[in-house]
A and B are shown apart, each in its own frame.
Chain A
């Protein structure tokens, strides 16, 4: 088998199944676990086994097979689910994950028992071949998973049941479309005339819903083409895809097909929805090229529109259409980069459990907003920082049970990891109800390190605390434990988030808890930015951190304690003249200001003038040591000239 061609495909798909497996096993640990969770875990193990045997990773196949056997015992009622078993199963899943990574890296463990290995390998190759055929049918428009047992028909009847065979329509509403929630309502109303909507996600998009992915569930045999037409007729719909379901006319054939397989659940049937759709997997590198290409096209289209402005109405209209068409294309391509944060979040519960067990904490760990989508490239970079914050929360935030009891708190600490969309950002929060950060303690250490003057008595704000705590090497732990790592502090988290064009905020209250908020752009590829002129040169400022832009009148500028401030509708905020920061020449004075905002902090950044609002393609660069930390990248303007991308958070 040509491993090179398939390895990446194998790896990305296996990782998804590992995430499902992990999620299923986690669910088993809950007080009231469901058959559904058990089935999901079982199917995931089964599928990994089949794929691994097919590609020739026999060690992985063996481990998956053992895990599948144990899960089967639970299904058959021969093993009771207790915490000990769940821990064992989680450990087995860990070993499986490690084996997958090892196998892909080309170092299969050598000590596999030969007898077992042979058995798994032979049997599985046969089954995998059957599955290959199933996959091929799926590709031709037939649903996968008809090689399962005969129970598919019964499950199909249960519309709306998670993991059932409902047809799921994934509609992407242009994220910058005005009033996305009203648009979603139009989509829902239009499609309801074609087929009954069983449920939708979000169920009731509120006024703050910023557009993006809308999922609608229909009976399996609904008419896809008619549904797609109806959805698109609602306007501002840039992409429609279907997952699951049965194509019309195939339902009867599928039901009467003879049951194959071994009585175990076939892959495909009833799998979590994200795996049942017809997907083509694309390497991230290819996706990068594609989005870069489309991004450059968008920039060119902008240039065309500028030129067309002098060229008459017909040309202007053509340029307009051209630009919007490329905009749609761009959204589709960007949509391909988006993955649900759950792909990464679902690795955490196990790690949190382990950390809690090791440190003698009791934790209720809750994950929300799994379905929120984020650029793959960003999500991959977030795993480490988030893990760090979670470990920190267990180690330093949450108190041991006896201490909590003494303080009148429930013995089990609460730890929440939550993702949400806010405007053009994704916000991720890590929140605990532990002891909070001791201001006095931080102040004392900061004084000892000479970071704040001895005399300063003012209460440290949350921002001050975060700034102090995220200085390299500033660790508050009394003793370095294995869990929170050595010498790796918040600075790593802050840097990672900044590198991604985001910002980190902290809230803390002694005795009540700590919350970290990561604010991230949706995607790294193409962002909305304001083009400004400073000292006669063009710069771009990403809209993520811009609250508004205003004309700068002389009467708005004042001084407070020797520092320039801007008064805006009764609010006073620091005024930073970017021309001075950049040591650029004076060209016509500062006629406008951009109001930058991170959390509650706001500052006005004075510029020569505002030029336009563009979509830009940011090429990130690693600034040379000693360079101003003011720039986060470089972009090409519509006229082909390069411009630096300013990071307004660096000024705040």
Chain B
């Protein structure tokens, strides 16, 4: 059965890039979210196997979204998507319960490795 993914990022471009990488690798992208609040709502609704979470999003940050999701679903598998220079935020997200992180610009092999690690 295909693994399901929820992609959370406020940029359409990033959602498209990530979505393509994941779909080509055989994942089922079941939903996308543009804000932290939407990410939390979509997670409740879809219960995906995996979430990719941008850090800086309007409405509610990716880190707060991780906290919310982990509070309700401690086993949620969340991979943070970060830009260079956001290490402190990534550390915060890991402390909040994120399982792994990838750094932009995305290299398909690195994205897939992180995803496999988290799902494996």
| A129, CB-defined interface residue at 8 Å | no
Interface string of A234-245 (1 = CB under 8 A from B): 110000000000
Bound complex: CA A185 to CA B103 (Å): 16
- Find out whether the CB atom of A207 lies under 8 angstroms from the CB atom of B88: yes
Most chain-A Cβ atoms within 10 A of its Cβ — which of B84, B90, B113, B120? Answer: B90
Bound complex: CA A207 to CA B84 (Å): 11
- Find out whether the CB atom of A181 lies under 8 angstroms from the CB atom of B87: yes
| A178, CB-defined interface residue at 8 Å | yes
Contact partner of A324 among B88, B100, B109, CB < 8 A? B109
Q: A189-B94, A233-B117, A235-B114 are in contact. Are A182 and B109 (CB under 8 A)?
A: no
| B35, CB-defined interface residue at 8 Å | no
Contact partner of A185 among B84, B94, B113, CB < 8 A? B94
Residues of chain B contacted by A189 (CB below 8 angstroms): 94
Most chain-B Cβ atoms within 10 A of its Cβ — which of A179, A186, A324? Answer: A179
| B52, CB-defined interface residue at 8 Å | no
Q: Which residue of A lies closest to B94 (CB)?
A: A185
A-B pair number, CB within 8 angstroms: 36
Contact partner of B100 among A181, A235, A320, CB < 8 A? A235
- Find out whether the CB atom of B87 lies under 8 angstroms from the CB atom of A182: yes
Bound complex: CA A209 to CA B94 (Å): 17
Q: A186-B100, A321-B109, A324-B109 are in contact. Are A233 and B120 (CB under 8 A)?
A: yes
Shortest beta-carbon distance from A547 to chain B in Å: 16
| B101, CB-defined interface residue at 8 Å | yes
Q: A186-B94, A233-B120 are in contact. Are A179 and B101 (CB under 8 A)?
A: yes
Shortest beta-carbon distance from B113 to chain A in Å: 7
- Find out whether the CB atom of B120 lies under 8 angstroms from the CB atom of A179: no
Q: Which residue of A lies closest to B97 (CB)?
A: A189
Bound complex: CA A321 to CA B113 (Å): 11
Most chain-B Cβ atoms within 10 A of its Cβ — which of A181, A182, A234, A321? Answer: A182
Bound complex: CA A320 to CA B109 (Å): 8
Interface string of A259-289 (1 = CB under 8 A from B): 0000000000000000000000000000000
Q: Which residue of A lies closest to B89 (CB)?
A: A182
Shortest beta-carbon distance from B83 to chain A in Å: 10
Interface residue total, chain A, C-beta cutoff 8 A: 15
Bound complex: CA A235 to CA B117 (Å): 7
Q: Which residue of A lies closest to B86 (CB)?
A: A179
Residues of chain B contacted by A186 (CB below 8 angstroms): 94, 99-101
Bound complex: CA A182 to CA B100 (Å): 9
Q: Which residue of B lies closest to A317 (CB)?
A: B109
- Find out whether the CB atom of B91 lies under 8 angstroms from the CB atom of A182: yes
- Find out whether the CB atom of A182 lies under 8 angstroms from the CB atom of B117: no
Residues of chain B contacted by A182 (CB below 8 angstroms): 87, 90-91, 94, 101
- Find out whether the CB atom of A178 lies under 8 angstroms from the CB atom of B109: no
Residues of chain B contacted by A324 (CB below 8 angstroms): 109
Shortest beta-carbon distance from A309 to chain B in Å: 14
A-facing residues in B69-85 (Cβ within 8 Å):
82, 84
Bound complex: CA A320 to CA B113 (Å): 13
Shortest beta-carbon distance from B91 to chain A in Å: 5
- Find out whether the CB atom of B94 lies under 8 angstroms from the CB atom of A235: no
- Find out whether the CB atom of B90 lies under 8 angstroms from the CB atom of A179: yes
Bound complex: CA A185 to CA B101 (Å): 11
Most chain-B Cβ atoms within 10 A of its Cβ — which of A185, A235, A320? Answer: A235
Q: A179-B101, A186-B100, A189-B94 are in contact. Are A207 and B87 (CB under 8 A)?
A: yes
Bound complex: CA A509 to CA B101 (Å): 46
Interface string of A170-193 (1 = CB under 8 A from B): 000000001101100110010000
Q: Which residue of B lies closest to A179 (CB)?
A: B87
Shortest beta-carbon distance from A314 to chain B in Å: 12
Bound complex: CA A66 to CA B7 (Å): 71
Shortest beta-carbon distance from B79 to chain A in Å: 10
- Find out whether the CB atom of B113 lies under 8 angstroms from the CB atom of A235: yes
Shortest beta-carbon distance from B85 to chain A in Å: 9
Most chain-A Cβ atoms within 10 A of its Cβ — which of B82, B95, B101, B113? Answer: B101
Shortest beta-carbon distance from A187 to chain B in Å: 11
Bound complex: CA A321 to CA B109 (Å): 8
Residues of chain B contacted by A181 (CB below 8 angstroms): 87, 91
Q: Which residue of B lies closest to A209 (CB)?
A: B87
Shortest beta-carbon distance from B45 to chain A in Å: 28
Residues of chain A contacted by B101 (CB below 8 angstroms): 179, 182, 186
Residues of chain A contacted by B82 (CB below 8 angstroms): 179
Shortest beta-carbon distance from A234 to chain B in Å: 8
Q: A186-B100, A233-B120 are in contact. Are A178 and B113 (CB under 8 A)?
A: no
- Find out whether the CB atom of A185 lies under 8 angstroms from the CB atom of B109: no
Q: A185-B94, A235-B117, A321-B109 are in contact. Are A178 and B103 (CB under 8 A)?
A: yes
Bound complex: CA A317 to CA B110 (Å): 12
Shortest beta-carbon distance from B58 to chain A in Å: 24
Residues of chain A contacted by B114 (CB below 8 angstroms): 235
Q: Which residue of B lies closest to A207 (CB)?
A: B87
Residues of chain A contacted by B120 (CB below 8 angstroms): 233
Residues of chain A contacted by B94 (CB below 8 angstroms): 182, 185-186, 189
Shortest beta-carbon distance from A183 to chain B in Å: 8
Interface string of A403-436 (1 = CB under 8 A from B): 0000000000000000000000000000000000
Most chain-B Cβ atoms within 10 A of its Cβ — which of A178, A181, A234, A324? Answer: A178
Bound complex: CA A589 to CA B33 (Å): 48
B-facing residues in A302-321 (Cβ within 8 Å):
317, 320-321
Shortest beta-carbon distance from A621 to chain B in Å: 35
Shortest beta-carbon distance from B80 to chain A in Å: 9
Q: Which residue of B lies closest to A190 (CB)?
A: B99
- Find out whether the CB atom of A178 lies under 8 angstroms from the CB atom of B84: yes
Residues of chain A contacted by B103 (CB below 8 angstroms): 178-179
Interface string of B39-74 (1 = CB under 8 A from A): 000000000000000000000000000000000000
Shortest beta-carbon distance from B23 to chain A in Å: 14
Bound complex: CA A320 to CA B120 (Å): 21
Bound complex: CA A181 to CA B88 (Å): 9
Chain A to chain B contacts (Cβ below 8 Å), 15 pairs: A178-B84, A179-B87, A179-B101, A181-B87, A182-B87, A182-B101, A185-B94, A185-B95, A186-B99, A186-B101, A207-B87, A233-B120, A235-B100, A235-B113, A324-B109
The interface of chain B, by Cβ under 8 A from chain A, is 82, 84, 87-88, 90-91, 94-95, 99-101, 103, 109, 113-114, 117, 120
7 additional contacts, CB 8 Å, given A182-B101, A186-B100, A235-B114?
A: A179-B90, A179-B103, A185-B91, A185-B94, A186-B99, A233-B117, A235-B100
4 nearest CB pairs, A to B: A178-B103, A182-B90, A179-B87, A207-B87
The interface of chain A, by Cβ under 8 A from chain B, is 178-179, 181-182, 185-186, 189, 207, 233-235, 317, 320-321, 324
